[in-house]
Amino acid sequence: MSQINKVNRARILAPVAALIFVLLMYWLMLPPINPVSANFWVFVLLTAAAFILAFTLPNKSWSDIAFEIKSQHMPRHKGVRIALSVFGGAIILVILLWLWGQPVFNASKYKDLLIKTEGDFTADVSELSMNQIPVVDRETAVQLGKRKLGEIADLVSQFEIATDYTQINLNNRPVRVTPLVYADIFKWYNNHKKGIPAYIQVDMVTQKTTLVHLENGIKYSPNEYLLRDLTRHLRFAYPTKLFDTYLFEVDESGTPYWIAPTYYYRIGVWGGRDIEGAVLVNAVDGSHKWYRVDDIPEWVDRVYRSDLVIEQLNYNGKFQDGFINSLIGQRGVLQTTSGYNYIAVNDDVYLYTGITSVTGDQSNIGFVLVNMRTKDTKFYSIPGAEEVSAMSSAQGQVQHLNYIATFPLLLNVANRPTYFLSLKDAAGLVKMYAFVDVERYQIVGTGTSVSDARSNYVKSLTREEGVSAGSGTRVNGKIAQIYTAVVDGNTNYYIMLEGSDIVYIAPIKVYDRLPFLNVGDNIDLAYSGDDNTREVLSITGE
């Protein structure tokens, strides 16, 4: 009788234990209730296995079950056989569904995950003034952030800096932002009621680093616990959504947000992963709203992950003529270059990367700009050097100093696609800057300031035979002052027009009648830049 009571008790307790196990598993795994999620099926299989075992194993006494385990007869148990059969069948089904969505059967669909349109570089990308060119890369931003937090003793003992450093445009300024995080669970316990008090903001042009204090702290983040953990907060609000990597941003007023992109599969069951929209979560109060990609507010700069964009660009280049051609013959097969960077265009953040052939040569056939909020992609058919070649060219100009070039940023300088790079010493400190022409990477201008490097670059352009530096901006007026000076063995003319204090620098090459110009002569000139000192690209006399 006692043995029967034990079995009956086990039949009651086993399902209860299975239910507790399943609830705990859901709390920890947080799987989406979505049939295309692999985590969902793992959760379903574990749940099924837990309840199958709970309802079958108690039919025998615990002593019998223990004996079967010790004697290795457990795999023969009916409940275990059912669980193993379900698990094995599920594995086979998963493999078949995975094969269904592979590129070998869907090459054209993979190609069309991202659509490129032809662009006009000089029309699409405006020339930046010297006080708009970003000089801070991610590594430099990290160093500046650490230095800033280290200045504040009461924070550095409780918080650390997250590794996000998301590049965004804030009020038309390129900046990187990243939140603080709790140093450990004990620091969280001491501070979680007030939340994370600030985030780091690094101006990518001036290098000014600001610790932005918040009136109300950040209470929802991946660094939180329990119901304020960002993943748990989103999962309970959107139980069926598939979430991609979270991105930290701030809106134009400085309010911190988490951008949580949601994805779906466009090919088969698990093929062609793409973004369908995003949840915007106020990091302070946890309020949230989901938007489709086309409806996401314009202040949001980053929705697509860079590696997802690069993957889709490579699919587009690889499968232009089908799957077989991507392996044999490879006619017209293209790929992205070894790196990427970001540029600001019309207050949006664009990913830049070069496009080259798969043959592994050292040149690009062109490059693309991809809007990181909408994925609109433009291709610019401008052959030129790969970024690595441009980096080597810039380093070669200062090889005696052993500086290392950063990955280049693409700019419009004198209406020519131009790489901009920082040159760092062994300690990682920026010492010089360089501009390298995309089409002719032997044309380089370096300097200890951005303006000096740009000026030297434009002068190199005007001296190079067969190179057009673009039409530039035109101005007409009478010469108020004109002087000459020899710089680095080249004669330059310095011109001021009546009614203006701007100095126009004209190398002798731009106009063969420069030596005959006098005060009072009327001229029409084209220049590059909008600072007080401008480089002349062409002159027409009257």
Tens of pLDDT along 143-162?
Answer: 898 888 877 767 778 888 99
pLDDT-based confidence at residue 76 (cuts at 50, 70, 90): low
Instruction: Kindly report the pTM of this predicted structure.
Output: 0.80
Maximum average pLDDT range among 229-243, 309-323, 476-490: 229-243
For every residue of 136-203, which 3-state class applies, written as one string?
Answer: CCHHHHHHHHHHHHHCCHHHHCCEEECCCCEEEEECCEEEEEEEEEECCHHHHHHHCCCCEEEEEEEE
The rounded distance, in Å, linking the Cα atoms of 327 and 334 is 12
Half-sphere exposure of 535 (CA within 13 A, CB side): 27
The rounded distance, in Å, linking the Cα atoms of 523 and 237 is 67
pLDDT, tens only, 47-71:
887 877 777 665 555 555 555 555 5
Q: Is the Cβ–Cβ distance between 394 and 434 less than 8 Å?
A: yes
The rounded distance, in Å, linking the Cα atoms of 120 and 110 is 26
What pLDDT is stored for residue 237 in this prediction?
94
DSSP state of 501: -
**Tell me, which fold does domain 473-541 have in CATH?**
OB fold (Dihydrolipoamide Acetyltransferase, E2P) (2.40.50)
End-to-end CA distance of the chain: 118
Bridge partners (DSSP) listed for residue 258: 248, 281
The rounded distance, in Å, linking the Cα atoms of 62 and 4 is 11
Q: Which of 188, 158, 137, 152 is nearest to 391 (CA)?
A: 137
Exposure string (b/e) for 68-95, b if CB count within 10 Å is 16 or more?
A: beeeeeeeebebbeebeeeeeeeeeeee
Structure token pair of residue 447? 């300097």
Structure token pair of residue 332? 């017209």
Place of tokens 């490879």: 330
Kind of pairing, strands 409-413 and 430-437?
unpaired
Boundaries of every domain in the chain: 2-100, 134-303, 387-463, 473-541
pLDDT, tens only, 181-234:
998 899 888 888 899 999 999 999 888 999 999 999 999 999 899 999 999 999
